[in-house]
Amino acid sequence: MRTTVGIIGAGPAGLLLARLLHNAGIDAVVLESRDRAYVEHRQRAGILEQGTVDVLRAAGAGERMDREGLRHDGIELRFDRKRHRVDFPALTGGRSVMVYAQTEVCKDLIALQLKDGGPLLFEAEALAVEDADTDRPRVRFRHEGVEDVLECDYVVGCDGFWGVARKAIPAELTRVFERTYPFGWLGILADVAPSHDELVYARHDRGFALLSMRSPSVSRLYLQVPEGTDAEAWGDDEIWTELERRFETADDWRLERGPITQKSVTPMRSYVHEPMRHGRLFLAGDAAHIVPPTGAKGLNLAVGDVVTFARALTHQRETGSAELLDAYSETCLRRVWQAERFSYDMTTLLHRAPDATPFEDRLQLARLERLASSRAAETDLAEGYTGFPFG
């Protein structure tokens, strides 16, 4: 097989890149190791930054998102039984976020790709990226039990942390920066209407809690738990009781309970791989960087990566200049590190470390009091949450 851009991975990054390239008149082939049903049902992030929303609309993939997604104009911070709302549009010149699950983004992009895009091969396992430092990189893959080769001008690895793309970059050329946190998130899906119309981030002496949602009738909630916790070790009543404790306020607000349909534990880590490019191989999304979910940045960072690549390749085709392609890694990493900083700040602001001292507890409360009393501090949070500019 032969194409201009070989894309490994049909998550939102790979699928969106294929759409952007199609709209620019550039051919691409997408290889995805899983079947379509798996891709369309794996639960992932659900908060889309303003920039991501704008890109999906411009790409022709925003119709259902605008119809079914939930626009949010703020979040609520809770601490010391107090409530403080951060108003995004008032602080950012009108920016907001959209609650629309990654599974739905993938469904929309898959439908578009199969309708009028280039080849999208499910159950096509990428085995290796070869000759990345030449002008004819190749992806060896297995599809329907047969090994084949995809010859490309460029390869973009959107295949996640465990994929093959990053492994094609020589170890002696790379630097890795990472941090593992001593806690995780116990997440649940529950068939009950959300108890608040915006996300609630709660700092409590017993640990962090987050109230989110998937739809007007399905709640998504999280509890900070020790690293390595087994989700099934928590009973349903125990989960609801702990959530009630951590969301407690001084007014009459109450948490509504409902049947829990899913439980899982998400580990917390920060990771950056530099560079994000080697020859004609480009990394995007989790293949290059991971953030703790506190800042809702993972999916949105991946979108920024593929937008940067699509713009750079389009520029090269229109002008003959490879300047933007050559700057891909540096351009993406500026945004990546700001998102890493924001996610780290949110994580350390709201989670209680297992060995936290009374001094550190009071510092957290002081930081939250500062956010609740300073427009400048609020603005910094709102700008980070609604998203850093692409490019």
293 is catalytic: yes
**Which residues, in sequence order, are CB contacts of 147 under 8 Å at separation 6+?**
127, 140, 141
Q: What angle do CA 91, 97, 103 make, to 5 degrees?
A: 165
CA distance 389 to 135: 31
Cβ atoms 155, 232 nearer than 8 A: no
Phi, psi of 133 (to 5 degrees): -90, 15
Residue 65 DSSP label: H
Contact 141, 148 (CB under 8 A): yes
- Is 344 marked active-site? no
Contact 211, 187 (CB under 8 A): no
Catalytic residue of the set 12, 22, 293, 351: 293
Catalytic residue (choose from 100, 154, 328, 385): 385
User: Which residue in 72, 196, 204, 278 is the catalytic one?
Assistant: 72
Identify whether 72 is a catalytic site residue: yes
369 sits in which H/E element: helix 358-373
Give 97's strand partners: 72
Contact 166, 275 (CB under 8 A): no
82 is catalytic: no
Q: Has 201 been annotated as catalytic?
A: yes
Q: Which one is catalytic: 289, 297, 328, 351?
A: 297
Annotated active-site residue in 181, 201, 222, 328: 201
- Residues, the chain: 391
Inter-residue contact 69 to 100 (CB < 8 Å): yes
Token pair in block for residue 302? 């991946």
Question: Which residues are catalytically annotated?
Answer: 72, 201, 293, 297, 385
